Every structure is written in C-alpha cells, then in structure tokens.
Amino acid sequence: MNRYAFTSPLKMIVGGLLITILPLHGCKEEKYSLGSIPAADFEIQSGDDSNTMVFVNSTPGTSIAYWETSTGQKFKGDNVSARFTFEGEYDVTLTAVTPGGIATVTKQVTISQSDPTACNPDRALGFIAGCTEKVWRYNPEAGAFKVGDQGPDSGNWWASGTGEVTGRACEFNDEFTFKFDPEGTFIYDNKGDFFADGYLGSASTSCEPASNLTGNQAAWNSGTFKFSVTEGTGINGLGQLRLDGRGAHIGVKKAHNGGETPEGPAGESVTYDIIAMEQNVNGEGYDILKIGVNIGGAGWWTFTLRSDN
C-alpha cells in the first residue's frame, strides 16, 4: 500500500487526526486537519458476459482505489473489471486511500454459471490447466533457465545449456500440475531431490535429497498450493500466473517479484508474466509455456516449461 510521507516539521497521524505544526517563530500553535475518513463504497455492474463484473469506486471525495478479489486478482483504478471462471460467490475488497486516511469495504458478487470457454487452449487458463489438469516440466533443451537485463527471455547474464539438462537432472524431473477447478489447485513435486545451486541445502553445486531443505528453505519443498490466471495483463499482454502459498514457485527458487532471496521465500505469493504460449510444437503434441519474473530494475528470470504429450 502506498504511504503518504510528510517532511519535518509535519507529522501525519493515521486515521484523520490532527497534524500539528510547531512554528519556528512565535509561540502560537496552529492546527490543521486532513478531514475525516470517508466510508469506502463501490458499485457492482455487469460486464460484457456473465462471468465478468465491473467495479466502480464511489467513495466520496478524492481517493485512490485498490482492489482485490478472493480469487487473488488485484487491480488499481476507479473503474476495473474482473473475470470469474467458476460459478459461486466471491468477495471483492476495495481499499480507498484518501487524504484523511485509508478506508476499506468488502462486498460479495455471485456468478451464476461457469465460463464455458475458460478451458479453451487459446485462453491462458485453459492453456495452462487444460479442462481437467495439465502437467508441466522444464523444457529439456538449452535455455530452459535464463536471466538478464535486456527484457524477458534475454539470458544475457546467464542461460542454461544442453549440459544442464543432465547436470541438473534433479530439476528437470520436477513436475508442476495445474488443476482446472474452482480452488485453483497447484501441485509441485520435486521427486525427492533438488539442485543446490550454491545456496540451497548444503550449498553444493550438485543434486541433493529433498530432506536437505531445512529451516526457511523447507517451504520450497514439494507441496500443494493455489494458482490463478489473470488474462490480458503482463509485459506481453498474454496474462499473468500467480502462485499462492509460502514456497510456491516455478524455476529458480530464490527469484521473486522485485528481488532474489536465497534464505527462503520472501512472501506468500509470486506472480509470473506469461511470455509465450506455443501449442503442439513442431507437430509433436506438446506445448511450450514461457514465464518470467522481474527481480528488480531491468533484471528478469525466464523459465520454459514443456507439457506432457
């Protein structure tokens, strides 16, 4: 959340209390008020179809609107739309940042039917999860892992070669399963091992048993997490893939939004931009998914996954 900062001698007291100014000359104390915090409110409108809802900020006065749905979608702006794939009831929370302070309100929306087109392979969710579930592994070719500062998929700092496919066999056997269900189930299976990469486990540069992931790093072990897909966003406009749950990840474990933290997960979620989606590559029946995470500034990690045939 953005914070308002005032330079000395002003002091902001959260909640719309008084700001007291101590003048440099004279002895009279002057008091100024930012005003009271208004009650946050918004309108719910129908979108272009039965699975899309539009939210309009109607908080009195001036405010900056931040939104979050119970499906993990996040937006900013006075007028936003969100898509809900499955029928059911969902919470939508508006956080309004006003001159007087921060106000929030949560409302519930009801979706009457599931989106019949959501699992189509030309939709990001359908491409990633299929119509039941879809299993992905790292693409067993050079360039499955890339990092650089010339945009996603650049790899000018480092890119894995063909030798890493066997040298890091304990990474290339990992499985990432996405289930097409209302819960957004994501399952990570490291097959009982991992590549230490100089900072994991005993910090070797070889494969180690999963039991070597201890302390904060233990969260990077196999587990069941949540995922969500937001269409039309991301650096290439193809959408974004968000993994929820401490330790949920794809690719280099230390990489997250805004940085690298080798000691353990830096937060409770990671969001990846979808860089490319390729169907039935070379007519061989498998798909290719490229995702990237910005680690700060111009730095990007890019990971390439291949689906089961």
- Taking the C-alpha atoms of residue 42 and residue 217, their distance in angstroms, rounded to an integer, is 41
Judge if 23 and 78 occupy the same domain.
yes
pLDDT band for 6, please (50, 70, 90 cuts).
Answer: very low
Q: What is the CA radius of gyration of the chain?
A: 23
Residue 210 resides in a domain: yes
With a cut of 70, say whether residue 18 has pLDDT above it: no
With a cut of 50, say whether residue 125 has pLDDT above it: yes
- Which of 62, 88, 114 lies at the terminal end of a domain, its last residue? 114
- Which of 114, 136, 162 lies at the terminal end of a domain, its last residue? 114
Judge if 201 and 183 occupy the same domain.
yes
Judge if 48 and 187 occupy the same domain.
no
pLDDT at 35: 76
With a cut of 70, say whether residue 22 has pLDDT above it: no
Mean pLDDT in residue range 180-208: 97
Number of structural domains (the chain) is 2
Judge if 154 and 107 occupy the same domain.
no
Judge if 199 and 220 occupy the same domain.
yes
- Taking the C-alpha atoms of residue 192 and residue 189, their distance in angstroms, rounded to an integer, is 8
Judge if 72 and 130 occupy the same domain.
no
pLDDT band for 215, please (50, 70, 90 cuts).
Answer: very high
Q: What percent of the chain lies above the pLDDT cut of 90?
A: 85
pLDDT at 8: 35
With a cut of 50, say whether residue 1 has pLDDT above it: no
Judge if 136 and 272 occupy the same domain.
yes
pLDDT at 72: 82
CATH number at residue 28: 2.60.40.10
- Between 18-27, 68-77, 154-163, the lowest mean confidence (pLDDT) is in 18-27
- Which of 59, 79, 114 lies at the terminal end of a domain, its last residue? 114
- The residues with which 45 forms a beta bridge, in sequence order, are 54
Judge if 102 and 153 occupy the same domain.
no
Judge if 150 and 76 occupy the same domain.
no
Residue 2 resides in a domain: yes
pLDDT at 30: 57
pLDDT digits (tens, 9 = 90+) for 138-156: 999 999 999 999 999 999 9
Residue 119 resides in a domain: no
Judge if 167 and 273 occupy the same domain.
yes
The predicted model scores a pTM of 0.79
User: Which domain range does residue 63 map to?
Assistant: 1-114
With a cut of 50, say whether residue 3 has pLDDT above it: no
pLDDT at 28: 56
Judge if 182 and 294 occupy the same domain.
yes
Average pLDDT, the chain: 90
Judge if 82 and 151 occupy the same domain.
no
pLDDT at 29: 58
